Amino acid sequence: MSLALCAHHDLSRDNTLGLPCRAERFVAPASLDEVREALDLARREGGPLTLLGGGSNLILPTWLPGLVVHPAMQSWWLEERGREVLVHAEAAVVWHELVMALAARGLWGTENLALIPGQCGAAPIQNIGAYGVELSDVIEAVHLVHLDDGREAVLSPAACAFGYRDSVFKGALEGRVVITRLVLRLSRSPRPRLGYGELAARVGASPSALEVAEAVCAIRCEKLPDPAVLGNAGSFFKNPVVAADLARTLAKAHPTMPHFPQPDGRVKLAAGWLIDQCGLKGWRQGHFGVHERQALVLVHFGGGSAVELLDFAGQVADAVRERFGVTLEREPRLAVPA
């Protein structure tokens, strides 16, 4: 076997929440062949299998039994298509670094998604999004390998069943595939999307893709904590989408409440605003807290566990439900071995 297996591997630095976790066994395949080899090993031994990317949207337990597979393929390349460019990015490419490199090359489409933590392989699972853009807006294809038999497949955007912070990888294919490569369709023609929040005020009338990406970075740095300094998983709750009747009732009682009508007639609310209105911004209990500048972000001060985090998050969600009658849904996934 060419794979280097590590026993009782420490994963505390492999998740942005900084939760203490050890993997019974750990392997980081650096090629597609090594991915297949790792999956073959897991099938032969029949034990639990956990797939781990950048750990930016994951809640890890203190112990992961079986085998943890952490894809380490880090190549990306361009395929020219006239004014369009296809970007091929393997699973372990750091998302933010890719976005900035593409923006510097004058390629449009991902610049609003700058500074989102994590790696490319995990991006489709959550259909990452920010400032009015989602990954589904630029995805061309997702390459994957099935865990049960090692066969490769390529999914179209439609087959990925993308939704708001959702995809087929959180549904029918959850725990059944490992994503190995993304293909993004970007453009050399300027197409800035500046209609979200304060982004337009940060750039000129005809910004470059890099200027937009840098403005996004500046805004995010002002509002969000750096996971390298203070453990967090970014937005901990999804922005809830509620029935129009409930939204009207809430807006009447709270005229300043942000709300965004959706194509299906429902209304999206701002989870951070709801939490803030409950007086929880800056609240700390034990090893966890609500960030002092962005109530949507739960932070880890060190020394805590997943059990404590979930209890803390439950208290936040309970407060929102009691005051507004709105249920918050957790965004980070629990690491559950397949």
Active-site residue list: 165, 235, 331
What is the Cβ-side half-sphere exposure of residue 317, based on CA atoms within 13 angstroms? 16
* Token representation of residue 15: 């998740």
How many helices and strands, by DSSP H and E, does the chain display?
Answer: 8, 20
* Token representation of residue 200: 């337009």
Nearest to 159 by CA among 151, 150, 168: 168
Question: What CA–CA distance (Å, rounded) separates 217 from 231?
Answer: 18
Strand ranges across the sheet with 49-51: 6-10, 22-27, 63-69, 49-51
* Contact present, 64 and 22 (Cβ < 8 Å): yes
Measured CA distances, 216 to 93, 113, 177, 219, 233 (Å): 20, 8, 32, 5, 18
